[in-house]
Amino acid sequence: MTGTLHEPVRRTVVIVNPNGLHMRPATTFAQLAAGVACDITVWLGEKRANGKSLWDLIGLCALRGTELTIEADGPDAETTIGQFVEILASPGDPD
């Protein structure tokens, strides 16, 4: 039997947006996650959020300076995880 096993890919990122992980970046993150062929989990310590769920992400209450771990598990994990890191590491709009 031949099958391809994928190890989860993990990256750590620090929230730098002054507003933390608020509605706009969380929505962008969840929309991107909905379009990939892997499971996306965001960890804040032992607390985890389904990356495809806007409300799970908001529920993390990740403020500026918070360190999060993104875990992607699936066939396109390696090629897409950088996009998720970029969203969470973004300083946001200069208002």
39 C-beta neighbours (distance < 10 Å), count: 15
22 annotated active-site: yes
Sequence-separated (6 or more) residues with CB below 8 Å from residue 57 = 21, 26, 29, 30, 42, 49, 51
Catalytic residue among 10, 16, 19, 22: 22
Q: Which two tokens stand for residue 30?
A: 């969840």
Q: Which residues are catalytic?
A: 22
